[in-house]
């Protein structure tokens, strides 16, 4: 029976602010300095387990970021299904079932969260293969991690040992320290990794029994899916779906659960405590200091966290980071909710970052990926001045095309149709200075766009 990997990558990663932001959440970050983002590591893990390309359930808001990260791994937008908004894991698993059952009614589904650290892919693949071959047809398999220590940040699975797969007898929520010590000494419990394997039909039937209303709404939204650029986007009915955890709404109500065990390094890197502990265990220098591009020296400060981004300096005692909702509430209450997003913005053609901004001018750095271009557009309220700092730009202004080399510049007046193109094999970098009476992303009229964006879409 073929294993169909599904990667759940729709979260916003709010518990790791300001490292993780709404427009650039943790699954798209390299948090451990290994060169791959958490999503890319998960994709490679899935590719090791199965010859079938993974399906990635992700948010519409992250589609350009997603595309940029999956293409180097041989995947494309055809491997993704976009949610209009995040609705937690129950809806995402339902989408995975519907999508996979269309392809193969006998498919075995492997559901993988996109934010895990699990470096031994061979051992992981061996356990998953054994689980797939020995799992009863009507059962749902969970991957349990043999505890490394008395963890309070993870849930636990209780089980009765069997010769093949252990029978799940219950779940324990994230325990207090005293209970965690007791659990660590037992041999019939494991950390709940959140990784699920089962026949897609079995998962569908479990959703139909325990979350029928959610499933029916997901089916409606799935039937209304449509094309967005090269992606498939689920219909708007998805917005009205209740955000439910698959663990809470389905698994904890099921009596047909089995658990396979693995003993190796693992972390759910969804919180500051787990991230810092793993970075420290890996021996990373300045494991608690994060900076985009500036040198930070935090001498003798192992008990605090320092994050320096372009728009935020965040310093906190590690013991105060268990509940980040107080910080997000503070930002919203003081009209600082823009800090919930990063200032670098991804587009299908590349990305831009605001370097400086005042009332009547904005300075941006634009990066246009090889063989990409912005839409043919004009602006009613602003003029733009472009300086090429790297690469060679082809700039169309009205009906003329200008070739601008490194160090060259060109200006675009109000209401002039213009387009920026990079025809080379290396990224093009531009410094853009906008001046005018109105400076925002809404002042744009599109005449032609290869990415199929609407005239008013950013």
| pLDDT at site 456 | 44
Residue 364 lies in a domain: yes
Residue 246 lies in a domain: yes
Are 20 and 148 in the same domain? yes
Are 251 and 303 in the same domain? no
Closest CA to 197 of 159, 152, 165: 165
Residue 196 lies in a domain: yes
Q: Indicate the helix (H) or strand (E) that contains 97.
A: helix 88-103
Distances (CA, A) of 84 to 3, 63, 95: 27, 11, 12
| Separation between Cα atoms, residue 65 and residue 10, nearest integer Å | 12
pLDDT in tens, the chain (458 residues): 799 999 999 988 889 999 999 999 999 999 998 899 999 999 999 999 999 999 999 999 999 899 999 999 999 888 999 999 999 999 999 999 999 999 999 999 999 999 999 999 999 999 999 999 999 989 999 999 999 888 888 899 999 988 778 899 999 988 989 999 999 988 899 999 999 999 999 999 999 999 999 999 999 999 999 988 789 999 999 999 999 999 999 999 999 999 999 988 899 998 898 999 999 999 987 889 999 888 888 888 888 999 999 889 999 998 888 888 889 899 999 999 889 988 888 888 999 999 988 888 999 999 999 999 999 999 999 999 999 999 999 999 999 999 999 999 999 999 999 999 999 999 999 999 999 988 887 888 889 877 766 544 44
Are 306 and 361 in the same domain? no
Q: What are phi and psi of 302, to 5 degrees?
A: -75, -10
| pLDDT at site 299 | 82
Are 173 and 107 in the same domain? yes
| pLDDT at site 264 | 86
| pLDDT at site 392 | 97
End-to-end CA distance of the chain: 43
Residue 455 lies in a domain: no
Residue 297 lies in a domain: yes
Are 225 and 325 in the same domain? no
Q: 300-338 burial, b if ≥16 CB within 10 A, otherwise e?
A: eeeeebbbbbeebeeeeeeeebeebeebbeebeeeeeee
Are 359 and 325 in the same domain? no
Burial of 104 (0-12, 13-18, 19+ CB in 10 A): middle
Are 249 and 384 in the same domain? no
Are 349 and 332 in the same domain? no
Q: What are phi and psi of 86, to 5 degrees?
A: -75, 130
CATH code for the domain of 385: 2.60.120.10
| pLDDT at site 357 | 86
Last residue of a domain, one of 240, 268, 296: 268
Structural domain for 404, as ranges: 344-448
Neighbour count for residue 381 (Cβ, 10 Å): 14
Are 12 and 127 in the same domain? yes
| pLDDT at site 249 | 95
Are 170 and 27 in the same domain? yes
Residue 279 lies in a domain: no
Are 258 and 291 in the same domain? no
CATH code for the domain of 260: 3.90.550.10
Are 331 and 256 in the same domain? no
Residue 278 lies in a domain: no
Overall number of domains in the chain? 3
Residue 280 lies in a domain: no
| pLDDT at site 453 | 61
| pLDDT at site 230 | 81
Last residue of a domain, one of 235, 268, 301: 268
| pLDDT at site 452 | 65
Helices assigned H by DSSP within 317-423: 325-333
Last residue of a domain, one of 268, 296, 325: 268
């Amino acid at each position: 029976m073929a294993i169909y990997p599904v990667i759940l990558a729709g979260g916003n990663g709010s518990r790791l602010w300001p490292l993780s932001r709404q427009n650039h959440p943790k699954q798209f970050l390299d948090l451990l300095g290994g060169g791959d983002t958490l999503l890319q590591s998960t994709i490679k893990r899935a590719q090791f387990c199965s010859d079938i390309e993974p399906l990635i359930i992700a948010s519409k808001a992250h589609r350009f970021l997603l595309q940029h990260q999956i293409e180097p791994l041989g995947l494309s937008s055809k491997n993704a299904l976009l949610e209009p908004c995040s609705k937690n894991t129950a809806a995402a698993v339902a989408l995975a079932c519907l999508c996979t059952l269309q392809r193969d009614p006998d498919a075995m589904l492997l559901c993988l969260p996109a934010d895990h650290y699990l470096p031994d892919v061979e051992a992981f693949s061996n356990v998953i293969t054994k689980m797939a071959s020995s799992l009863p047809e009507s059962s749902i398999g969970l991957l349990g991690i043999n505890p490394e220590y008395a963890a309070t940040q993870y849930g636990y699975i209780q089980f009765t040992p069997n010769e093949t797969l252990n029978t799940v007898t219950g779940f324990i929520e994230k325990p207090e320290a005293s209970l965690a010590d007791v659990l660590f000494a037992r041999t019939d419990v494991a950390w709940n990794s959140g990784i699920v394997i089962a026949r897609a039909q079995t998962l569908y039937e479990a959703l139909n029994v325990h979350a029928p209303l959610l499933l029916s709404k997901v089916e409606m939204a799935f039937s209304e899916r449509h094309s967005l650029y090269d992606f498939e986007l689920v219909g708007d009915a998805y917005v009205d779906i209740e955000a439910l955890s698959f663990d809470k709404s389905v698994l904890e109500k099921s009596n047909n659960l089995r658990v396979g065990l693995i003993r190796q390094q693992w972390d759910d890197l969804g919180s500051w405590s787990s991230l810092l502990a793993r970075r420290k265990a890996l021996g990373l220098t300045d494991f608690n200091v994060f900076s985009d591009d500036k040198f930070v020296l935090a001498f003798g400060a192992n008990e605090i966290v320092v994050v320096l981004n372009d728009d935020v300096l965040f310093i906190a005692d590690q013991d105060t980071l268990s509940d980040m909702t107080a910080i997000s509430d503070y930002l919203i209450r003081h009209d600082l909710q823009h800090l919930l997003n990063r200032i670098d913005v991804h587009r299908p053609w590349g990305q831009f970052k605001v370097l400086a901004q005042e009332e009547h001018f904005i300075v941006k750095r634009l990066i246009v990926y090889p063989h990409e271009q912005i839409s043919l557009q004009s602006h009613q309220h602003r003029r733009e001045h472009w300086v090429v700092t790297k690469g060679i730009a082809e700039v169309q202004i009205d009906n003329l095309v200008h070739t601008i080399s490194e160090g060259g510049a060109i200006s675009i007046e109000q209401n002039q149709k213009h387009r920026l193109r990079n025809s080379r094999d290396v990224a093009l970098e531009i410094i853009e200075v906008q001046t005018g009476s109105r400076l925002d992303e809404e002042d744009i009229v599109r005449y032609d766009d290869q990415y199929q964006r609407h005239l008013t879409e950013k």
